[in-house]
Structure 1
Amino acid sequence: MSDKLLIGCVADDFTGASDAASFLAKSGMRTMLFNGVPKTEQSYEMDAAVIALKTRTEETGKAVEDSLEAVKWFQKQDACHIYSKYCSTFDSTPDGNIGPILDAILDECKEKSSIICPALPVNGRTVSQGKLYVNGVPLDESPMKNHPLTPMWESDLGKLMEPQSKYPCIKVTEEIMKGSKEEIEQYIAKESQGKEKFYLIPDYVKDEDAAKIAEVFGDMKVLSGGSGILTELGKKYCGKAEGAAMPSSATEGRGIVLAGSCSQATLEQIRVFQEAGHYSCKIDPVKLLDGTDTPERIWPCVLEESQGKEILIYSSDTPEQVKKMQDIGKEKVANAIEKAISDLAVLAEKDGFRRIIVAGGETSGAVTKKMGYDAYLIGESIAPGVPVMIPAENPQIRLVLKSGNFGQPDFFLRALKMTAKEK
């Protein structure tokens, strides 16, 4: 293990940060996750640090400013490498934030190039001929094209970056990636002639491709992408095999699932949870907005009706119902749901719940902010990219925060079981 901070990762939302942290921990790195840029001078024993921001949907100028603040914190820790982590479905529109953030990081670090590598094959995200696919379907033809916050109408990563970035992209296709490192470098040198700065888009179709990408591009100061290559980068940087000791995933106390995501995966996970006979309660955004329902009114009823069972509270709904809700006001509805779910998480913790599972990126960010924990140890994963997290300030708590699209159909059941200490 090194005494230096080997990699500093800045993530665009909290579930993206926990996703990245889980893949770094899998490589054997001592990994810490921070909710925002640390404000204290406390030191931690860590090889990798991940800072969770909210830049995925933030106003672009603020997103760039926040990202640079995180990068400068990493620079103070003498980080060897900077990694900009974004969604594995790229999550972008022509005026999206990924390009401006990457441009600013390249300029701050005085680097000429970086890679764009959003693929995560284990979760069905692949890049072929520079195009991003979701479960074999081009991004712009997948269900993600109708994402309520960041609709995805293009699958060519170069074309996605062109309207956003000051710098051009160079595709490094599967055929080129089959060459030696020297041959790939020669190709890049030829293609980048006359370019002030540029981005490289390597094809990444199979899990095994990560090792080659880490070998060829891992020495770069600035890298970017999803979580797919982070385990191989971690191995390259610290030379430690998988299977390093991790903190225990289990703790005492009841468990609760809080779901704000409306993804198809989360809707299926809710169905499986309910069919297993567990207690669930759906909250109505309209009643939250008009004050008919409040967390303080909902929670006592949930406690009484659940009769000691594991609990699911959700606002998730079908795309048709979501569209109806958005007619009221997308921001108003989202804010009401996030506030209610985060308030319910705090009420649950006060009543002895120690295992808290949250579905949805924005929802997870709201919950962690409300609970007030700023630093987390990273434990084992429930599913690829979804680790158990232990607040450094309260090691009795187990948090599991998943992006809406992640996890198996029985994910909620698995998470509750893995975090429960056997009696």
Structure 2
Amino acid sequence: MTILLGCIADDFTGGTDLAGMLVQAGMRTVQLIGVPDGPLPDDVDAVVIALKSRTCPAADAVAESLAALDALREAGCLQFYFKYCSTFDSTPDGNIGQVAEALLQALDSSFTIACPAFPANGRTIYKGHLFVGDVLLGESGMRHHPLTPMTDANLVRVLQQQVRGKVGLAETSVVAQGADAIAARFAELREQGCRYAVVDALSNSDLMEIGAACATLPLLTGGSGLALGLPENFRRIGLLAPHAAAGALPATGGWRAVVAGSCSLATRQQVARMREQAPSFHVDPERLADGADLVAEALEWAAAHGGGAPLLLYATSTPEAVQALQARLGVEAAGALVENALAAIAQGLVKLGVGQLIVAGGETSGAVVKALGVRSLRIGPEICPGVPWTSAMLDGAAPDGAARPLALALKSGNFGAPDFFLTAWEELA
């Protein structure tokens, strides 16, 4: 069968976010971890290749994204999608713009859009400015992000600094008129020499109309919200039928655990809420830096406390504590220290019997899935907007050495209500 939509995500939580949106819309979807070295699955409508390219050097991000595009093109995908965070964050050198430009050139296309809006999670775009809730991006908690701080909400200006082609804007007044008006605006911008259009979006209905207007574009770029309007394009031309079981996952048992590395405000609130009601272990980054074997300590603690309530193991800290550690070790070394420790802890937890695992934070999720040897994820039910449960088959993980499924939720640090870690399990019942 033909794979309709081929997606490239710049981190792992963003990949599951996008894949979950597609499953909700009835597209059977698989997420692959890293560029595949063999044939893609042939029983799905959409494939998401999740990379760890958001914060790596721009040249590496471009090379890896082009390799992912090659795999998707070889599989015969009809349309392509570059997914980045709904807060449009990337390094100052501009991985978002540089990757988009490279993909556009590789596809021999002359125009695409940029629309990171995700209204269900409070990300909206008005007159080209990105809002997080009621505040501009540059005034939100993203201005303190330890790896990709965002201090400018004007997406036209931000993207223009990262690309050679001209960037234009499709404003709210146009979007409100529907798909035909949006498509007409795209034509105007192309005539003006624009290669990119930042597109305003205030609601899911806006995203549906934007998606319809993009039916014939070879490449789209945006957050996961933009995916809402794409499946209907394929249904309209008879290529996609409803799939009632698009999000079905195999049953999993075992212990339940949360591994949290994100230091976002949302994750800090979630950690604080769970600590009030469940056993918790603090993977103290400062103690890690001092050489303490917190991996062994954490797993010994987990072995003594597992089997009942979900366990919480967290390195989540305040922005001030993160900055202090970065000043001490350097930004990259500080991040790698924590990520590697949490990944080793996750490995140990699975060996102890954890069968249902939540990981909080994009960089942490990337480290964990690599440590577990996960190469693909089947996408299941949504826990909250942007966060689905997934299932990975782990070779040799069962007591008899056989493969067994692991239920895995990879949560972007900024997503989820304060009780997320306590209520997410209900979707697996």
Same fold, TM-score > 0.5, yes or no: yes
Distance 1:389 1:210 in 2: 25
* Alignment of 1:272 onto 2:268: no
Counterpart of 1:402 in structure 2 is 411
Distance 1:138 1:361 in 2: 22
Counterpart of 1:22 in structure 2 is 20
Contact 1:382 1:388 in 2 (8 A): yes
Residues 361-420 of structure 1, C-alpha deviation per residue, up to 9 Å, x if partnerless? Answer: 00000000000010111100111111111114555210011000101111111223433x
Counterpart of 2:190 in structure 1 is 192
Judged with a 3 Å threshold, the aligned counterparts in structure 2 of structure 1 residues 35 and 187 are, in CA distance, closer, same or farther, namely closer
Q: How many Å apart are 1:96 and its aligned residue?
A: 1.6
Amino acid at match of 1:11: A
* Alignment of 1:288 onto 2:297: no
Q: How many Å apart are 1:145 and its aligned residue?
A: 1.2
Counterpart of 1:174 in structure 2 is 172
Counterpart of 1:322 in structure 2 is 322
Amino acid at match of 1:177: V
Q: How many Å apart are 1:208 and its aligned residue?
A: 1.2
Counterpart of 1:218 in structure 2 is 215
Which runs of structure 2 are paired with 1:64-83 in the superposition (5 Å)?
64-83=62-81
Distance 1:160 1:42 in 2: 35
Q: How many Å apart are 1:240 and its aligned residue?
A: 4.3
Q: How many Å apart are 1:94 and its aligned residue?
A: 4.3
* Alignment of 1:202 onto 2:202: no
Distance 1:291 1:170 in 2: 51
Question: Structure 1 residues 389-398 or 6-15, which shifts more?
Answer: 389-398
Counterpart of 1:96 in structure 2 is 94
Which runs of structure 2 are paired with 1:303-382 in the superposition (5 Å)?
303-305=303-305, 308-329=308-329, 330-382=331-383
Aligned residues: 416
Contact 2:189 2:197 in 1 (8 A): no
Judged with a 3 Å threshold, the aligned counterparts in structure 2 of structure 1 residues 7 and 262 are, in CA distance, closer, same or farther, namely same
Residues 76-131 of structure 1, C-alpha deviation per residue, up to 9 Å, x if partnerless? Answer: 01110010000000003542201110010010000110010100000000011111
Question: Structure 1 residues 184-193 or 218-227, which shifts more?
Answer: 184-193
Contact 2:302 2:349 in 1 (8 A): no
Q: How many Å apart are 1:282 and its aligned residue?
A: 0.3
Counterpart of 1:135 in structure 2 is 133
Amino acid at match of 1:327: A
Correspondent of 1:10 among 3, 8, 21: 8
Amino acid at match of 2:366: G
Residues 170-199 of structure 1, C-alpha deviation per residue, up to 9 Å, x if partnerless? Answer: 11111122335444444433333252x511
Residues 251-308 of structure 1, C-alpha deviation per residue, up to 9 Å, x if partnerless? Answer: 21110100000111111111111222x1001011222223222312331133225574
Residues 210-250 of structure 1, C-alpha deviation per residue, up to 9 Å, x if partnerless? Answer: 11101112221100100002132123224445854422375
Judged with a 3 Å threshold, the aligned counterparts in structure 2 of structure 1 residues 270 and 292 are, in CA distance, closer, same or farther, namely same
Which runs of structure 2 are paired with 1:150-165 in the superposition (5 Å)?
150-165=148-163
Structure 1 vs Structure 2 CA RMSD? 1.8
Question: Structure 1 residues 129-138 or 243-252, which shifts more?
Answer: 243-252
In the alignment, structure 1 segments of 5+ residues that lack a partner are: none
Structure 1 length normalisation: TM-score?
0.94
Contact 1:23 1:230 in 2 (8 A): yes
In the alignment, structure 2 segments of 5+ residues that lack a partner are: 395-402
Contact 1:379 1:387 in 2 (8 A): yes
Amino acid at match of 2:414: N
Q: How many Å apart are 1:324 and its aligned residue?
A: 1.7
Contact 1:235 1:241 in 2 (8 A): no
Residues 346-368 of structure 1, C-alpha deviation per residue, up to 9 Å, x if partnerless? Answer: 11111111011100000000000
Counterpart of 2:387 in structure 1 is 386
Judged with a 3 Å threshold, the aligned counterparts in structure 2 of structure 1 residues 216 and 42 are, in CA distance, closer, same or farther, namely closer
Judged with a 3 Å threshold, the aligned counterparts in structure 2 of structure 1 residues 40 and 241 are, in CA distance, closer, same or farther, namely closer
Distance 2:88 2:298 in 1: 36
